[in-house]
Amino acid sequence: MTATDQAAQVYATYKVGLPVYTWRATLLVWCDRRVRLLEETVLRLVRDGVTGTDDMTRLLGLHDPAIVRRTVQDLLERGALNYGSTRTLHVTEVVGRRLLEVALVKDERRFEGISVWLDPLAESVSWPDEAGLFSERDVTDAGGTVIRPKETLGSGALPDQFRALHRLVNREPGPLATHPLGENVLKFELQHVLPSRPRLSYRLATLEVTRHPEGEWTYRLLQGGVEDVERSAALRAWELEGHPVVPVVEEPRQHPSLEVNALLDEVARAAAQGTEVIEAAEARVVLREAILAARSTVQVMPAVGDLEFTDDLPGWLDQALHDTPALKTMIGVDAGFLEGLGSASGRGGGQRLSQAYRKLRSKYVRGARVAPVNVRPAPCRVIVIDQARVLLQFREFQPYGSGKGLMRTVLVRDVPTALLGGLQEALKGIVTGQP
């Protein structure tokens, strides 16, 4: 590994949705199965000169000749039996005798409502797996970004994948083998596919983006913490063709408060010089543990907004207040937020968050243990624990390509003492007084 490789650092990990097309298809399949005992016995009886169905029924010890008649009719339709010139049954030379030799029968069966997936990245078809698929809304609600397919597929795309689907049916029959029509089938061979209109869904994965000292960006796709080499390469090929892959955003506007901007710039510089900056995946644990470890006071300003973990804060504060009876909290909210008003209340989930904080204040009303403070919107969140420990959560922007860049939410575990003076000035730019 070179010195450059050693200096490269993972900048951020992003939850992404990988495109998958799904069909509910009807599959017409040739199925090889073993000859049933009754079929084999009837063939042998006819070969040995017993051609009457009543005689066969008696020799087989059956009471209903209809069972034998149906078997004879089926063998006639398959060409294993035939009537000679004297209207006497006999075993045919090709089909009948071969059927006795190999003991296999080939049936055409119609499997309806079979789910088939087509992965545009891997350019492969498959049966549904245990991981499951999600809608675009599911992905975005989970804080992820969908990677859209390069082209929209119609119902004709699945027949275009006939060879791949044929190999899948032959090698891994999956749902066909467990289908009632697939019982006792030894081999499946696809003959025709009748698909419905496809549905676009998404498979969850993680995109790990690395920043190199010379300014280069690389990324890899992770499934279960392990790189999916095939799909990582496919994503790079898509990006080279101009297809958006990495979740880039427009550069955010500066905050109206010069003090806030100055603080964030100073923290960013300090972080570059060794201050520990924690990315979102670990930050959740660190922030929660810091709040639960408080013994006297917790200040969260602002406690609303669109930073990560906003929806988690009421639950963490509730647990901390419950576990430590002497604890008091100060939460920064918009004017009127607790009454369902204010700018933050109008955002996605704002009403739900407002209700959560109202319940929290009512639950700990004795002793005024939850004190709301009127704040202005800010691109950061300051958490002060016991008037001694200060954590800062904010979004960092880095250019990626022309005009856009990558955004990540980071947490400074312990703001350096040298920055506390600037932090106090920044807080004056955020806090606007008691509501």
Tell me what pLDDT residue 3 has.
37
Tell me what pLDDT residue 80 has.
82
The count of other CB atoms within 10 Å of the CB of residue 263 is: 28
For residue 250, pLDDT over 90 is answered with: no
Higher pLDDT, 395 or 123: 123
Pairing, β 249-250 against β 277-279: unpaired
Q: Are 146 and 186 in contact (CB under 8 A)?
A: no
Q: What is the mean pLDDT of the chain?
A: 83
For residue 272, pLDDT over 70 is answered with: no
- Using a 10 angstrom Cβ sphere, with 0-12 exposed, 13-18 middle and 19 or more buried, the burial of residue 126 is middle
> 350 φ, ψ to 5°?
-60, -45
- Using a 10 angstrom Cβ sphere, with 0-12 exposed, 13-18 middle and 19 or more buried, the burial of residue 301 is buried
Distance from C-alpha of 171 to C-alpha of 223, rounded to nearest angstrom: 25
Higher pLDDT, 278 or 362: 362
Q: What is the largest CA-CA distance in the chain?
A: 112
> 289 φ, ψ to 5°?
-65, -35
For residue 4, pLDDT over 50 is answered with: no
Higher pLDDT, 148 or 269: 148
SS in 3 state form for 187-205?
EEEEEEEEECCCEEEEEEE
Higher pLDDT, 214 or 403: 214
Domains observed in the chain: 1-32+107-244 (no CATH), 36-102 (1.10.10.10), 258-433 (3.30.870.10)
Residue 257 C-beta-side C-alpha neighbours within 13 Å: 21
Q: Cα–Cα–Cα angle for 22, 27, 30, nearest 5°? A: 145
Res. 114 pLDDT band, cuts 50 70 90: very high
Distance from C-alpha of 253 to C-alpha of 263, rounded to nearest angstrom: 15
Please state the rounded mean pLDDT for residues 411-430: 65
What residues contact residue 336 under an 8 Å CB cut-off, 6+ apart?
342, 345, 435
Distance from C-alpha of 82 to C-alpha of 60, rounded to nearest angstrom: 21
Taking alpha carbons only, the member of 42, 213, 27, 7 closest to residue 115 is 27
What residues contact residue 116 under an 8 Å CB cut-off, 6+ apart?
22, 23, 25, 125, 126, 127, 158, 165, 195
For residue 148, pLDDT over 80 is answered with: yes
Res. 10 pLDDT band, cuts 50 70 90: confident
For residue 400, pLDDT over 80 is answered with: yes
Least confident range from 136-150, 167-181, 216-230, 330-344: namely 330-344
Res. 5 pLDDT band, cuts 50 70 90: very low
Statement: the pTM of the whole predicted model exceeds 0.85: no
Tell me what pLDDT residue 172 has.
93
Distance from C-alpha of 136 to C-alpha of 121, rounded to nearest angstrom: 17
Tell me what pLDDT residue 410 has.
79
Distance from C-alpha of 129 to C-alpha of 112, rounded to nearest angstrom: 19
Pairing, β 9-34 against β 185-195: antiparallel
